Amino acid sequence: MATDHLSWLREGQTLSTTEQLLCIIKLSIPAIFAQISTVAMEYIDASMVGHLGATSSAAIGLVSSTTWLVGGISTSVATGFTVQVAHRIGAREDARARAVVRHGLLTVLAFGLLIAALSSGISFYLPTWLGGASDIRSEATAYFLVYSLALPAFVLNYAAGGMLQCSGNMHIPSILNIGMCVFDVLFNAVLIFPTRTVQIFGKDFLVYGANLGVMGASLGTGLAELVSAILMLYFLLIRSDKLHLRKEVNVGNYRQELAQAIKISLPIAIENAISGGAQVVSTKIVSPLGNISIAANSFSVTAEGLCYMPGYGIASAATALIGQSVGAGRPKETRKLSFLTVGLGMAMMTGTGILLYIFAPQMLEILSPNIEIQSLGVKVLRIEAFAEPFFAAGIVTAGVFRGTGKTLISTLLNLSTMWFIRLPLAAFLAPKIGLKGVWIAMCLQLIVCGTLFLIAMVMSLRVREE
pTM confidence score = 0.72
SS3 labels along 395-416: HHHHHHHHHHCCCHHHHHHHHH
**Residue 216, Cβ density class (10 Å: 0-12 exposed, 13-18 middle, ≥19 buried):** buried
Gap between the Cα atoms of 295 and 51, Å rounded = 12
Q: How do residues 99-139 score in pLDDT, each as one tens digit?
A: 999 999 999 999 999 999 999 999 999 999 988 888 889 99
How many CB atoms neighbour CB 256 within 10 A?
Answer: 11
Q: What is the pLDDT of residue 2?
A: 40
- The contacts of residue 266 (CB under 8 Å, 6+ apart) are 76, 80
3-state SS assignment for residue 52: coil
Q: Report the alpha-carbon distance of residue 165 to residue 235 in Å, rounded.
A: 12
User: How far apart are alpha carbons 46 and 44 in whole angstroms?
Assistant: 6
Tens of pLDDT, residue by residue over 77-87, are 888 898 888 87
Domain regions of the chain by residue span: 7-465
287 Cβ partners below 8 Å, 6+ apart?
A: 62, 130, 131, 132, 294
Strands of 180-249, DSSP E:
194-200, 203-210
In degrees and rounded to multiples of 5, residue 133 shows phi and psi of -65, 160
pLDDT for res 369 = 84
Give residue-wise pLDDT tens across range 10-41.
Answer: 666 777 778 778 778 877 776 677 667 667 77
C-alpha 447/C-alpha 384 separation (Å) is: 10
Smallest Cα–Cα separation from 146: which of 257, 226, 88?
226
Residue 34, pLDDT score: 64
Question: Percentage of residues in the chain with pLDDT exceeding 70?
Answer: 94
Indicate if the alpha-carbon torsion angle 96, 98, 102, 105 is positive or negative: positive
pLDDT for residue 35: 66
Averaged confidence pLDDT in the chain = 86
Rounded Cα gap, residues 414 and 267, in angstroms: 11
Residue pair 294/58 in contact by the 8 Å Cβ criterion: yes
Residues 6+ apart with CB under 8 A from 215: 139, 142, 143, 146, 191
Task: Compute the average pLDDT of residues 251-265.
Answer: 84
Instruction: Give per-residue pLDDT as tens, 177-220.
Output: 888 888 988 898 899 888 888 777 778 878 888 999 889 989 99
